[in-house]
Chains A and B, each alone.
Chain A
Amino acid sequence: MDRHLLPEEIDQLLDGEVGFGTAPLKAHVRACPGCSAELESARALVRELEHLPHFAPSLEFTNQVMAQVHVFVPWHVALLDMVRGWAPQSRAGRTVAWAWAGTMAIVFSAAAVFALTRLDTIVFAVGLGLERLRAMGVGVLSDATTMLFGDTAAHVVSQAGTIGAALALLVLLVATALAARGLHAVAALPRRR
């Protein structure tokens, strides 16, 4: 090469470009003190630029930004984060938690298997409980009917069975609603005048 490097050729070397074109440029720099000094000066500038520091904004910067950012947290993310919050952070704590959860799972599984082998007993117990609950409900309803409408009405309801009791309750609710509406209408009359 019988000339000095052009500015863009200095830039090529500065950017570390590789290829057939750069070999003669590098050879020239090795032989030419002027171009070598030029390249070194450019490299010194780049080094200086690369060492420029990053400046820090004020300490409140992040909070000020976040105060104006609308974060929408879906329910499943909130739930997952809550579970993560409850989970122990240490490895030992997590091991204990897993052991506890495993033990509880085994205990409940065993209880479930036991209950399945005694299914007839469970069905009988549940049926008995439901029958007692029904008898208690009918008793309460019968007492209320006696108190409000007398023994005759209570006798009719008890004779009619569950359907009769349900019908009586429905009639009672409708009558109460109509009475309340009527009273409300009567109370509103003077105001209209």
Chain B
Amino acid sequence: MPLSLDLANLPDADVAALARQGRESAYRELVRRYERPVFSLIYRMVHDRETAEDLAQDTFIKVLNHIDRYLPEFKFSSWLFKIANNVTIDFLRKRQLKTVSIEGSPHAATRADAEATSFDVRSTNESPLEEIESRELGSAIEQAIAGLRPEYRACILLRHVEGRSYEEIAATLDLPLGTVKTYIHRARHALRDALGHLRE
């Protein structure tokens, strides 16, 4: 074993094994590697920075306090994203957080209904945090993603932002493979519809 541990170049399973041995530097390395992907996934799910940070913290605390339960034959990141998704879905269920498209309600029957239920993201009374949020999540594609159902959103983000395979997503979200394919197909279709006016 080398005198100084070069954690940055070790695979996740090895870093997790070192964390299980009680090395704090390995815990920190795991947080460093995944804080951005996990935070981004949750942030795009809940659309609120503070909440996303709290949920991301909960995720890491749960994972790191139970690192002894991690099975090295599975990908560490899949386990982490699974916990992150569960934490987020629990939160969304508890708070009944509605995902509202800024283009208006998806159930609106007419254009007038859609306009009546739409809102302007760039309000003049934004707090600094809201300003950051609208800057980060204000692009057309982020708004389109925000309008998706949470389960479609989780699938499409894991597939195209995190680059996960269909099988990994199915394992991460505890869904049948066919369901994952259907959700991703529907999400792509919905996104293309939502962004269609920009492409014409």
A residues engaging B (CB < 8 A)? 7-8, 11, 14-15, 41-42, 44-46, 48-50, 52-58, 61-62, 64-66, 68-74, 77, 81, 84, 87, 89, 94
Report, nearest first, the 8 A-B pairs whose CB atoms are least far apart: A49-B160, A54-B36, A73-B22, A57-B39, A69-B64, A65-B60, A54-B40, A55-B40
- Interface class of chain B by DSSP: helix
Q: Tell me whether B28 and A45 are in contact (CB under 8 A).
A: no
Q: Which of B77-85, B91-99, B167-175, B184-192 contacts A (4 or more CB under 8 A)?
A: B184-192
Pair B189/A7 contact, Cβ less than 8 Å: yes
Contact A7 B61 (CB under 8 A): no
Size range of the interface on B? Answer: 35 or more
- Closest-CB distance, B179 to chain A (whole angstroms): 14
Q: Total contacts A to B, CB within 8 angstroms?
A: 104
Q: How far is the CB of A185 from chain B (nearest CB, A)?
A: 52
Residues of A contacting B: mostly? helix
Q: Are B21 and A55 touching (Cβ within 8 A)?
A: no
How far apart are the CA atoms of A55 and B49 in the complex, in Å?
A: 10
Q: Are B64 and A11 within 8 A (Cβ)?
A: no
Q: Taking the complex as formed, is B32 at the interface, i.e. its CB lies under 8 A from any CB of chain A?
A: yes
Cβ B22 vs Cβ A71 within 8 A? yes
Q: Are B156 and A72 in contact (CB under 8 A)?
A: no
How far is B48's CA from A121's CA once the two chains are assembled, in angstroms? 83
* Given the contacts A45-B192, A69-B61, A62 and B160 also touching, CB distance less than 8 Å: no
What 12 new A-B contacts, CB under 8 Å, besides A52-B142, A62-B28, A89-B3? A45-B188, A57-B39, A61-B31, A61-B53, A61-B56, A62-B32, A65-B60, A65-B61, A68-B57, A68-B65, A70-B65, A81-B23
Within 8 Å CB of A41, what residues of B?
A: 192, 199
| CB 8 Å contact bits of B11-33 with A (1 = contact, 0 = none) | 00000000001111001100110
